[in-house]
A = this chain, B = another copy of it.
Amino acid sequence: MDESIEQQRELPLALRAAYMALHRGTEAAFAKQGVTADQFVLLLALRDGGTLTQRELADRISSDASTIRAMLVLLERGGLIQRASHPSDSRAKTVELTSAGKKKLRQLWKVGQKIRDDMYGAMSPREADVLIDLLRRVAGTLSKERKSDCVSC
């Protein structure tokens, strides 16, 4: 009981420390590849999602429309993605990986393997399941809260 009060700040800081370690490690590993950790996540979303609009992309990695555009401009400049007009909605643009983008993604996946191994090596498979489940619940509550909590509405 006292413990849970004392712990009131442990969880947020522990979550931040773990993510920061992951982020920095990934950033360092990808530096030579000319791709940032966040760009990697965007590329992953494209691999999973196939062809997406910018808005769908923004929703998937829960980011901003103009942030997404800034990232896409960089990735397009590097030849990793390409954009085209949407066939049925001419306001929208479709985004997809180029073949160079798919190749780069396979490289990045290899380069990042050590980090994933380290993470999973720190726990049993069962613990990994538990961790993933808890993280999803945290993400779920917090994003749900934000929507219903819109002060300015």
Q: A13-B44, A18-B138, A127-B134 are in contact. List 11 more A-B contacts (CB 8 A).
A: A11-B116, A14-B131, A14-B135, A14-B139, A18-B19, A18-B135, A21-B138, A118-B141, A122-B141, A130-B134, A131-B134
Copies held by the complex? 2
Q: Lowest 8 A-B CB distances belong to which pairs?
A: A19-B19, A21-B142, A14-B135, A18-B135, A122-B141, A18-B139, A122-B137, A17-B139
28 A/B residue pairs, CB under 8 Å, sorted by A: A4-B128, A7-B128, A11-B116, A11-B128, A11-B131, A11-B132, A12-B119, A13-B41, A14-B131, A14-B136, A16-B23, A17-B62, A17-B136, A18-B136, A18-B138, A20-B62, A21-B62, A22-B142, A25-B142, A115-B145, A118-B141, A119-B141, A119-B142, A122-B138, A122-B140, A127-B134, A130-B134, A131-B131
Question: Complex formed: what's the CA distance from A125 to B4 in Å?
Answer: 7
Q: Chain B's nearest CB lies how many Å from the CB of A6?
A: 11
Question: Complex formed: what's the CA distance from A62 to B123 in Å?
Answer: 23
Give chain B residues whose Cβ lies under 8 Å from the Cβ of A3: 125, 129
